[in-house]
Amino acid sequence: MMAACLRDVDAIFMTIGTNSNKPDTRVTQDVSKVIVDALHTLRSERTAGSEFRPPTIVFLASTVTAESPTAHQPWPINRLIFNANYYVYMDHIAALAHLERELPWAPLIKASPAALVDDAASGFRLEPHGQSSLTCSYRDLAAAMIMMVEDPETDWVGMDPGIGVSTNARQVWYLAVDCGFRTSTVPSRRWRTLQAIFNRSAVMNVQRLSFVAEGCVPSLSSGQFMPSCPTSILWLVYLNSNSRTMAKRWADQPFLLIKKTGALSRKDLRPDHAAISMAQQMALAHNVILRSINAAVNQCCGVQPGTAEARDFLLFNQSVFEILKQHHDIEEEYMFGAIERLTGIPGIMDRNLLEHKDFEAGLEKFRKYVFETNADKYDGQTLKALLEGFGSTVEKHLHNEIPTLLELQDYDSSKLGEIAKELGRRFGGAGDKYRHAPLFIGCSDKTFVLDGQNIPFPPVPFFVPYIIKLFFEPRHAGSWRFNPSDSFGQPRPLRFLNSPGTNL
């Protein structure tokens, strides 16, 4: 029956398992054996001279069982979770080993999320080397596993230790210890009080409470339980600060961020050529601009006229205009000419220059409104229309420019690197530090993954964000409330999110 079900399919999503941590658990192993037998049957049925094309198997693994622990989840937490679900994970490990041993000719993808939670979808990222965020919703995991099979740019088959799945929601884990040696698994009064405090918090929202160990000590060395030993009850608390907002809208929409430069799909690129790093740094800078516009679009109708928020939001939008115009002015004044001189091809950047002209009129209308409107006359719908008037054209241009930079791989890498270095110096030295530095760092995302990497951006020493926070932010502090990230580039919910009824 299983062979008949699997005949001519393109992919098998192997997600069957159990949450019941009991000795001799082998649900996943049994399913693995059935799939192996079915595929061997189908392979044996092929006629002489014909080729058997096995389906891609997407196996639901876990970062907890990966050989290299995820950077987002501390080793002690990783080990604690493994020990608390020892028999479940051992079942998965044995099943995966069986698939790899018996089906060496079948494409295998290992999807490796961390903890799965029943939360709203907030978007996902696929990360090589098994790196994952602390949690992932079931909805995001499903979409991610489909993408692993259908991704036209990246072949995810065979990557070890697995493909990490990170959610765009920001999460925090806390380990609470209910002290007191006893064998009862009933929560104490202290724990019930702590739980109530968490639930009533205006900042955090408890999404999951789970026993890590109920009346037992997980041994970090052996991975076995000692169920008869009385001890304190350990609880793992998952708190998602974005459960009410980050799962709705953030600064990654409506104008899409650049997630891939295209470098990974280019076999002709030298991995050490400056064209790749220049394209990646430019993509990350473009994403800052896109997040700033998205933050404005997603909050423009959440700000009321005649308020301090309206005054601060107008200045926020003034700064958005300034960094966008400054960015393109420097490209036109320096970068385009420098690339022409490097390549010896006049007009090589003319297409990019023409795209700048495409949004000039819409950008000028936006400038006029945010600089000439006072807080009493502010209207969110008017601003929304202006942002949408040029936003799509800017989005298209910012995406189009990246492949142009990759094409420079045919030219001298060291000279291109000097151009990129000078470009970075000019970007960093231009503008009003009191208006641009807080906006730029507040529209960065230190968790963002580009080309499968978490590339540090902006590329500044660790102390620079502290200088910005202490010296440059205070002058216009109210305006940076609209930033999608904090003073250190960590994503946070949008504070003045448009109401659900707003047409975006």
Of 162 and 176, more confident: 162
What is the arithmetic mean of pLDDT over 211-228?
Answer: 36
The amino acid at residue 331 is E
Low-confidence winner among 42-51, 377-386, 412-421, 430-439 (lowest mean pLDDT): 42-51
CATH superfamily of 1-45+52-165: NAD(P)-binding Rossmann-like Domain (3.40.50.720)
Low-confidence winner among 42-46, 67-71, 81-85 (lowest mean pLDDT): 67-71
Q: What's the pLDDT tens digit per position in 308-333?
A: 999 999 999 999 999 999 999 999 99
Q: Is residue 159 over pLDDT 90?
A: no
Q: Are 416 and 424 in contact (CB under 8 A)?
A: no
Q: Which of 434, 416, 418, 415 is nearest to 426 (CA)?
A: 418
pTM over 0.75: no
The string of DSSP codes covering 283-318 is HHHHHHHHHHHHHHHHHGGGS-TTSHHHHHHHHHHH
Q: Is residue 243 over pLDDT 50?
A: no
Q: Is residue 86 over pLDDT 70?
A: yes
Integer Cα distance of 292 and 313 in angstroms: 12
| DSSP helix/strand/coil, 33 | helix
Integer Cα distance of 502 and 504 in angstroms: 6
Q: Are 16 and 29 in contact (CB under 8 A)?
A: no
Element at 352 (helix H, strand E): helix 350-358
Report which listed range, 119-128, 188-197, 284-293, is most confident: 284-293
Return mean pLDDT, the chain: 80
Q: Which of 325, 333, 319 is nearest to 426 (CA)?
A: 333
Q: In this structure, are strands 217-218 and 225-226 parallel, antiparallel, or unpaired?
A: antiparallel
Q: What's the pLDDT tens digit per position in 54-82?
A: 899 999 887 777 655 444 555 666 677 77
- Report the number of secondary-structure helices (H) and strands (E) in the chain: 15, 12
Show the DSSP H helices in 151-273 as ranges: 189-200
Q: Is residue 48 over pLDDT 80?
A: no
Q: What's the pLDDT tens digit per position in 247-296?
A: 458 999 999 999 999 998 888 888 899 999 999 999 999 999 999 999 99
Compute CA 482 distance to the chain's CA centroid, rounded to the nearest angstrom.
20
Q: Is residue 224 over pLDDT 50?
A: no
Element at 209 (helix H, strand E): strand 206-213
Q: Provide the angle, in degrees to the nearest 10, between the axes of the packed helices 274-299 and 413-429.
A: 30
Q: Which of 293, 254, 276 is nearest to 502 (CA)?
A: 254
What is the arithmetic mean of pLDDT over 131-151?
Answer: 78
Q: What's the pLDDT tens digit per position in 480-489?
A: 999 999 999 9
Q: In this structure, are strands 231-240 and 108-112 parallel, antiparallel, or unpaired?
A: unpaired
Q: Where are the domains of the chain?
A: 1-45+52-165, 263-479
Do the domains 263-479 and 1-45+52-165 match in fold?
no
Of 306 and 65, more confident: 306
Of 236 and 101, more confident: 101
Q: Which CATH architecture has domain 263-479?
A: Up-down Bundle (1.20)
